[in-house]
């Protein structure tokens, strides 16, 4: 079976233990980012199965037209809008989904909170440039950490915050607020209170129609001039251009960002990268070896099950009746 795996930037796929699940098949792995769909289709080598790493590759109708033998897309997580499911239905392509693991993203989020407050990356760069103690950071203890989204990741951040002696404030859906209140946590009375009183605001929402651009420029401008805004979820949660504009206006005073409107970023002159009050990481939330083993083992099992006629975790089961390898 011809199986293609694009966007293996770290050249790690073949080193995973679970990669052995695909032994005996013709595997094509692409290690570079290819933005041109025609070139991408050519490099994918006429696949019958695609295995995607999270949201790195966008599956559009125009790409599907160039992959006539494609029958399955096995995704390492959930579809976050990067796969056109309706187009897959029209072309008879089944989409198998995996499940998320909150640990790696939660840990990175906390690392960004610590680095953003203490300004550790800036101090390291200063030291490399022959400077000593160029800034003064702020501790977590006693700060109010605002968590928007009380799900698997948000609940882990809450526990980290408690261990560091911070106060937690929750905002989110009615269900999230109710759950947080039942667990004994402070819940904001309004979005305005949430943004204006928290020392750190961290987003932990899924990107969908109801949450797209849910964070407005006016929300960010309500933050304190020394507050930290953290996003390890999705860039699309923020009104386009709002974060950059708000940072230039001084509210919030700092940001720690792992997700961007367009990825990957190769331009060292990207505006966020040029700001001294912003810590940027290259979408590392889920990029961790144990997490990769978990994500890809599910994706590869879905592939094997599909090949043997027992498809699992199919998001669009209506295509299965007309789909066979």
| Active centre residues (catalytic) | 234, 263, 283
- Alpha-carbon distance of 14 to 200, in angstroms, equals 39
Sheet holding 186-187, edge to edge: 186-187, 167-171, 144-148, 200-203, 228-231, 254-257, 278-280
- Alpha-carbon distance of 170 to 5, in angstroms, equals 38
CA distances from 109 to 68, 114, 144, 232 (A): 40, 9, 15, 6
**287 touches 55 (CB < 8 A):** no
> Which SS3 state, helix, strand or coil, does residue 95 take?
strand
CA distances from 159 to 162, 166, 179, 273 (A): 5, 10, 15, 30
- Which tokens hold the place of 310? 């027992």
* Closest listed residue to residue 170, CA positions, set 212, 206, 201: 201
**232 touches 105 (CB < 8 A):** yes
**Do you know the residue count of the chain?**
325
- Alpha-carbon distance of 24 to 300, in angstroms, equals 13
* Closest listed residue to residue 241, CA positions, set 291, 146, 249, 233: 249
- Which tokens hold the place of 234? 């999705």
**299 touches 51 (CB < 8 A):** yes
Beta bridge partners of 5: 29
| HSE, side-chain direction, 13 A CA sphere, residue 220 | 29
Question: Would you call 299 exposed, middle or buried from its count of C-beta atoms within 10 A (0-12, 13-18, 19+)?
Answer: buried
């Amino acid at each position: 079976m011809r199986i293609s795996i694009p966007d293996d930037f770290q050249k790690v796929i073949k080193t995973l233990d679970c990669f052995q699940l695909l032994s005996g098949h013709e595997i094509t792995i692409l290690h570079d980012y290819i933005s041109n769909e025609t070139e991408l289709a050519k490099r994918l080598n006429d696949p019958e199965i695609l295995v995607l790493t999270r949201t790195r590759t966008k599956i559009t109708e125009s790409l599907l037209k160039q992959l006539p033998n494609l029958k399955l897309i096995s995704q390492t997580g959930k579809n976050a809008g990067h796969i056109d499911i309706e187009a897959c239905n029209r072309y008879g392509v089944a989409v198998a989904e995996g499940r998320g693991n909150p640990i790696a993203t939660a840990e990175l989020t906390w690392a960004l909170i610590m680095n953003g407050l203490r300004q550790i990356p800036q101090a390291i760069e200063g030291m490399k440039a022959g400077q000593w103690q160029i800034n003064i950071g702020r501790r977590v203890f006693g700060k109010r950490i605002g968590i928007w989204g009380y799900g698997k990741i948000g609940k882990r951040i809450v526990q980290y915050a408690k261990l560091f002696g911070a106060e937690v404030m929750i905002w989110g859906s009615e269900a999230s607020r109710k759950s947080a209140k039942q667990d004994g946590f402070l819940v904001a009375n309004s979005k305005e209170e949430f943004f204006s009183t928290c020392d750190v605001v961290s987003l932990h929402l899924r990107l969908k129609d109801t949450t797209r651009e849910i964070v407005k420029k006016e929300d960010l401008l309500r933050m304190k001039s020394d507050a930290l805004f953290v996003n390890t979820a999705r860039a699309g949660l923020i009104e386009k251009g709002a974060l950059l504009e708000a940072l230039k206006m001084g509210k919030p005073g700092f940001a720690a960002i792992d997700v961007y409107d367009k990825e990957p970023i190769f331009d060292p002159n990207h505006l966020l990268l040029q700001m001294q009050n912003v810590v940027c990481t290259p979408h590392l939330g889920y990029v961790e070896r144990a997490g990769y083993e978990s994500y890809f083992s599910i994706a590869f099992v879905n592939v094997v099950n599909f090949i043997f006629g027992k498809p699992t975790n199919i998001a669009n089961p209506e295509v299965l009746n007309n789909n066979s390898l």
